[in-house]
Structure 1
Amino acid sequence: MLISLPISELKPGMFVDRVNRQVAGAAIKIKTRGMVRDPAIIARLHKEGVEELTVDFAQSEVAIPRHLQPTTAPSDTPKTPTKSSEDMPAKVSVSESTQASLEQEFLIASTCYEQSQGKLRAMFHDLSAGMLVNLELLCDIADAIVDSVFRNPDAMAALTLLRDQQSYTWRHMLNCAILTAIFARYLGYEMNKVRQMALAALLHDIGLAKVPQGILSKAGRLSELELKAVRKHVALGLGMLKGQKHITGMMLEMIVNHHERLDGSGYPRGLGADKLSREARILAIVDVYAAMIADKPYKQAQEPLGALRYLMAQQDLFDQALVQRFIKCVGIHPIGTLVQLTNERLAIVVQGNSDNPIRPKVRVFYNTLHRHHITPKDIDLSRTKDDIKITASTCGSDFDLNPARLLKEHLLP
C-alpha cells in the first residue's frame, strides 16, 4: 500500500517508493528508493529539503500508522480488479469493511478447509503419477483462503490448530497459506500481494509429491540419505512450476528460500540474511511454526506457545523483528486454542487481547474436576473479578475430547 507522508513522519523500517516534494531550489534532487535503515538517512533527507515522500508499506518493516490506516465505508460496488506488475491474475477484492463474526465466518472457513484438503490430496496423487500442477485449482484455493482471512482472520486461524498426522503434508500446505495470508494482512500488504504470498505458501512444498511417500510417512528418524531425498523437494517443486503462467518472481523467491536461514545454515543454497527477501523470511517463520504445532507421523505436535518460544530463541536463524510481530499477530494463545484455567475449567480462546495477550476472551465449557461438559459461558480474562488465569494449553486428549468437534460445537452459529 502506497501512502504519502510528510518527512516528519518518516521512521526507520519504512520503504520509500519516491520523493514527492522538495523545497524549491534544492541543490540535489533525491530520486532513490529503498528501505530507511537508520535515522541518519532521515536527517540527510531533511537536510536536502525533502518535504513529502511516498512510502510503500507492503515492503516496509513497520505497520501503517493507525491515523493513516484507511477507513472505507460499506459499498455494494466491487472494487475494479487490477493486475500486478508481474501479470498475476487479478481478482475482485473483498472490501475490508465487509467483516463477518467469528461464528459466521467459521462455517464458510471450515467448509472451504475440508474441501481444499480433499482437492490437495487428490492433486498429490495425480502429481505422484506424473501429471502436471493444476495451478488454476491452487489459485482458487489460495483466493478462497485470502477472502476468508479478509472477512475475519480468526476463523481460518482456528482451523490451523486441528491435528491429523495422516494428512500432514497437504494440511501443512493449507496451514502455511492461511498463516501467511493472516500475517501478510496484519503487516499491511495490499490484497493482491497477499494473494500471491498465500499461493506461494500453498506451493512451497509441492515438490514433496515427487519424494517417495514411504519416506514422508516414516514413523522413525530419517537416515542421511532419506534427509537428502526430502531436501530435494525444493528443486523438484521449482521444476514442476517452471514455465507456469502467473508465478511471479516474488513467489519463486519465497518457494526456493523458505528453508534458508539468516546465518547461512539453511538449504538448498546456504544463503545469508543479505540475500533473503522479507517475504521469504515471513514464509520461513510460518513454515516452522505450522510444522511445530501439527502432528506428524514421527512426532507429536507442540502447543503454539512452545513453537513461539522456539522461534524467539533462534535469533541467528529467523528475523526477530518479524518473529515479534508474528507473535502479536497470532497471539500467545491463538484463537481456537483449548486452555486449562485456574478454576478447574477448560475453555476455548475465542478472542485475542493485544493489550494483555495472556488474558484473552475464552468460552468455558468443561469441568475438569468432575470431567463433564457444562453450559458454555464467555469470560473476558482481563476483566474477571475472580482473577481466573490460563495455566496451560491442551490438545484435549487428556480429557477424551475431540478438538475438531469442539470447534464446530462452539464456533458454528
Structure 2
Amino acid sequence: MLKKIPTAEVTLGMYLQGLEGSWLSHPFWKTKFVLDDPEDLKALKASGVPFCWIDASKGRDAEPPKATLAPPAAPAPVRAAPTVVKAPPRLELGTAPASMGEEVERAVQVMQRSKRAVMTLFNEARLGKAIDAEQCLPLVEEVASSVERNPSALISLARLKTKDDYTYMHSVAVCALMVSLARQMGLDEARTREAGLAGLLHDLGKMAMPLNVLNKPGTLTDAEFAIMRDHPLRGFEMLNEGTSVPEAALDVALRHHEKVDGSGYPGRLAGEQISVLSRMGAVCDVYDAITSNRPYKNAWDPASSLARMAQWTGHFDPRVFQAFVKCVGIYPVGTLVKLQSGRLAVVLEQNATALTAPRVRVFYSTKSQMPIPTQVLDLSAAAAADRIVGREDPATWGFQRLDELWQTPGA
C-alpha cells in the first residue's frame, strides 16, 4: 500500500518507493529500498525533500496510519531546477587519486559495463520504451568516479571505440567528458552529475533515425543529412516522454548542435541564448566524434583535433573551449610528439600544473630512424632535460599500434 507522508515522519524500517521533487535534491542514487541505515535517514531529513512515498506492504507503516490517503498513482516527475544542492554518497568504488596505469585497468571494466547498459537503454528506446533517468544514475556515478580517480584514463580509452559500437560508446565518452569539464569549470557536484547525465543521453534521438542512414559507411546525401538533423528534436521528444529527466538533459539533447554564432540547428540560437551545459555539450560531442573512428570517417589524432577546433570561429564558446583544453591537455593522452632531442614519444598522462610538459614514453629516434628502448619521462621535471617542440601525425611515420604504448604501463 502506497502512502505519501512528510519526510519528517519517515522512520527506520520503512520501504521508500519514491521521493518528491527534483532528483537532484535527493540524497540517494536509488529509490525503492528499505530504509535501515540511521545515516541514510539523517541524510534524507536534511535533504530538503518535502514528501516521501512509502510502501507499507514492504516495510514499516506510518504512525499513526493515514487513513485518508488512498493509494495514488506514482507522482509525475518535477522538472524544476534544484534549490537544494546535496552531493550523493559515492558508490563503493573508491575515489582516491590513481595513476594512469592503475586506472586504465579499472576503466576498461567500467567501459564494458557502461557499453552493455547503454546498449540496453538505447535499444529499449528504439522499441518505444520510455526512458527512466533514475536508472541511469548509477552508471553516471561510476563514470564520474573513474574520472575523479584519474581524469584521463576512461576518456582516453573511450576514444578507441570501434565503428560498430560508436553510437553507444560515444554517449559514454561524452558523459565522461562532461563530468571532467564541469569540474574544470567549478560546477558543484549536483550540477556536475546533471552534466554527466545530459552527456549520456544527448544523442538518444539517433535511436529514432533509420539504421541505413545512421550506420551508412559513406558520405550522407543532402536528404540523408536532413534526416539526421532531426535527431536533436527527436531526442528531446523521447526524453520528454520519460520520467525523472531534468531540464538540463532535455536542453542538451535539443541544443548540442547549436553554435555560438547562430549558425547551428535546430533553433539557430546564438551566444547566451544557448545554456552553459549545451555549450559544454557542443564541445564534448564534437571532440569525441572527430577523435573516434566512425562508419563514414576515420579518427583524427587528439592534438590536431583540438588545433582544428580552435580554428572554428563562431562554433564554440571560447571560455568553455579553453576550460576543455585544460581538461584533456594541450597534448592529450595518446598524442605523438617530437622532443627537442629528436626523439618521438607518446603522451601518457597530463601534468595539471604544466600543460605543455606531460609525462611521455619515448620510443623512437628520428635521427637514426629506428625504434629505441622505451623510457618514461616527466617533462615537467628538471632532470628530464627535454621538451616538446611539436606534435606529429602517426600516419606520416606509419605507426599502426601507437595506442598500445600508452595503454600498457610497462610497454
Q: Please give the TM-score of this superposition, normalised by the length of structure 2.
A: 0.71
Gaps of at least 5 residues in structure 2 are 1-38, 50-80
* Structure 1 partner of 2:373: 374
Residue 183 of structure 1: how far off its partner (Å): 0.6
CA deviations on 1:298-354 (whole Å, 9 max, x unpaired) are 112222222222332233222112212221222111134344445564433233245
Q: Of 194, 204, 207, which residue of structure 2 is paired with 1:206?
A: 204
Secondary structure in 1 aligned to 2:373? strand
Residue type matched to 2:168 in 1?
Answer: W
The question of whether the paired residues in 2 share the 8 Å contact of 1:362 and 1:381 is answered with no
Residue 362 of structure 1: how far off its partner (Å): 1.0
The question of whether the paired residues in 2 share the 8 Å contact of 1:177 and 1:198 is answered with yes
Residue type matched to 1:100 in 2?
Answer: A
Residue 90 of structure 1: how far off its partner (Å): 6.6
Q: Does 1:315 align with 2:306?
A: no
* Structure 2 partner of 1:359: 357
Residue type matched to 1:92 in 2?
Answer: P
Residue type matched to 2:162 in 1?
Answer: D
Q: Does 1:127 align with 2:121?
A: no
Alignment of 1:164-313 (within 5 A): 164-313=162-311
Residue type matched to 1:410 in 2?
Answer: P
* Structure 1 partner of 2:400: 400
The question of whether the paired residues in 2 share the 8 Å contact of 1:262 and 1:317 is answered with yes
The question of whether the paired residues in 2 share the 8 Å contact of 1:260 and 1:269 is answered with yes
* Structure 2 partner of 1:117: 115
Residue type matched to 1:398 in 2?
Answer: G
The question of whether the paired residues in 1 share the 8 Å contact of 2:359 and 2:376 is answered with no
| 1:287 to 1:144, Cα distance in 2 relative to 1, 3 A | same
Higher mean C-alpha deviation, range 102-111 or range 183-192: 102-111
Q: Of 67, 85, 89, which residue of structure 1 is paired with 2:82?
A: 85
**d(CA) in 2 for partners of 1:269 and 1:250?**
16
Residue 406 of structure 1: how far off its partner (Å): 3.7
The question of whether the paired residues in 1 share the 8 Å contact of 2:377 and 2:384 is answered with no
Residue 179 of structure 1: how far off its partner (Å): 0.7
* Structure 1 partner of 2:332: 334
Secondary structure in 2 aligned to 1:110? helix
Secondary structure in 2 aligned to 1:166? coil
**d(CA) in 1 for partners of 2:392 and 2:209?**
35
Percent pairwise identity: 30
Gaps of at least 5 residues in structure 1 are 1-76
CA deviations on 1:362-385 (whole Å, 9 max, x unpaired) are 123456756557344334266356
**d(CA) in 2 for partners of 1:178 and 1:291?**
14
The question of whether the paired residues in 1 share the 8 Å contact of 2:346 and 2:402 is answered with no
The question of whether the paired residues in 2 share the 8 Å contact of 1:109 and 1:148 is answered with yes
Higher mean C-alpha deviation, range 334-343 or range 152-161: 334-343
The question of whether the paired residues in 2 share the 8 Å contact of 1:180 and 1:201 is answered with yes
Residue 122 of structure 1: how far off its partner (Å): 3.8
Higher mean C-alpha deviation, range 110-119 or range 159-168: 159-168
Aligned length: 335
**d(CA) in 1 for partners of 2:95 and 2:292?**
33
Secondary structure in 2 aligned to 1:324? helix
CA deviations on 1:105-155 (whole Å, 9 max, x unpaired) are 222222101221233234433333333435344322211111222222122
| 1:140 to 1:158, Cα distance in 2 relative to 1, 3 A | same
Q: Does 1:410 align with 2:409?
A: yes
| 1:257 to 1:123, Cα distance in 2 relative to 1, 3 A | same
